Amino acid sequence: MSYIHESQSVAPGGPELAVGPQAALVRQEVADVDEAVRYINERTVLSGLDLARDVGEYILNTFFDGDYAHFANPSRTKPTSFRALELRQDLLIGKARLHDFVRISHQLKMLPSEVVTRLTLAHHRALLPVPDPASKAALARRALDEGWPSRVLCHEVRRFVPRSRAGRKPLPPVAKGIRGVVKSLDLALKHDLTSDEVRRLGPEQASTLAEQVEESLTRLRELRRLLAGALGKSGPRDDC
């Protein structure tokens, strides 16, 4: 099953060009995504921890070279092929569950084996927000010793986590928004655009994109002005 968009132009030995998150995929990455969809869909015959462990480890090894720190770090851009996988309409597991499965498969390696096998998938999901292995294990053992259902464990985790994260300030919405803009631009412009590629958009699509870019530039100039004021600087003069 091919994942090359109809609007893509394929250069021999080079990247497939398209509009959208899959624009920067090269041939091998397209094949990796197709294979991942097939593999994960086949594994849905499993259930519970078996499914979470299998799918989570597969994603981590296939798209992150087994590096959980890369997957978990919100400041690092995820591989383009993994983003394309998240958007696949024929994938039987949604984005949120994919992320949970990777986190759970990693968490399973942090807990004692006797704890892992006695807790349900819902219990393991409840433990995800707990920041360190020792605390995870302590809460897991309490859940087993006291016969907590997963909802009770969720409640205890909510009581525990705020104390462990005291003093952390949430990222302001404007900072989150700009981070998203930067990531989107990195994704859309990962390869060097040429005049020929832009001309292939067609007049109507090019006009729409030009309007969107101009509107975005206007808002970014205003944000730049506000940031310069906050820093006590005069903003740079616009030449356009």
Q: What is the pTM of this model?
A: 0.58
Give the rounded percent of residues in the chain with a pLDDT score beyond 90: 37
Give the rounded percent of residues in the chain with a pLDDT score beyond 70: 79
Which residues constitute the domain of residue 91? 9-164
| Residue 151 pLDDT greater than 50, yes or no | yes
84 is a domain residue: yes
pLDDT band at 6 (very low <50, low <70, confident <90, very high): very low
Q: List pLDDT tens digits, range 83-102.
A: 999 999 999 999 999 999 99
Residues 60 and 154 in one domain: yes
Mean pLDDT, the chain, integer: 79
Instruction: Specify the pLDDT at position 211.
Output: 76
75 is a domain residue: yes
Instruction: Specify the pLDDT at position 208.
Output: 78
Residues 94 and 17 in one domain: yes
Sign of CA dihedral 13, 9, 188, 75: negative
